[in-house]
Homo-oligomer: A and B are copies of this chain.
Amino acid sequence: MIAFMSDWGYESYYVGVAKAVIKSIKPDVEIIDITHNVKEYNIRQAAHILQRVCKDFPSQSIFLVVVDPSVGTSRKPICMKTKNDMFFVGPDNGVFSFVGNNFGVKEVRILENQDYFYGSSPTFHGRDIFAPVAAYLASGVKIRELGSLLMNYEILRYRKPQKIGDTIRGEIAYYDHFGNLETNIPGKYVEEFLDHDAFLKIGQNQYETTFCRTYFDVRPGQLLIHTDSSGFVEIAINEGNAQKMLGAKAGELLEIEKVVTNKDT
Contact = CB atoms under 8 A, between A and B. Distances in A.
A35 B10 contact: yes
A216 interface: yes
Given A20-B53, A123-B226, 8 more contacts: A9-B176, A10-B35, A13-B53, A17-B53, A20-B32, A24-B58, A71-B214, A72-B215
A69 B36 CA distance: 25
Contacts of A228: 121, 123-124
Nearest to A49: B13
A20 B58 contact: yes
Interface in A126-173: 127-128
Nearest to A6: B177
Contact of A177 (B21, B40, B73): B40
A199 interface: no
Interface in A11-25: 11-17, 19-21, 23-24
Contact of A23 (B5, B30, B37, B176): B30
A122 B213 contact: yes
B56 A127 contact: yes
A98 to B, nearest CB: 14
Interface string A27-49: 10010111111101100000001
A123 B13 contact: no
Interface residues of A, number: 60
A207 interface: no
A179 to B, nearest CB: 9
A239 interface: yes
A177 B38 CA distance: 12
B20 A123 contact: no
A52 interface: yes
A12 B36 CA distance: 9
A1 interface: yes
Nearest to A41: B239
A229 B33 contact: no
A222 B14 CA distance: 24
Given A23-B32, A178-B40, A216-B73, A52 B16 contact: no
A72 B56 CA distance: 21
Nearest to A30: B23
A17 B52 CA distance: 9
Contacts of A19: 32
B32 A123 contact: no
A20 B177 contact: no
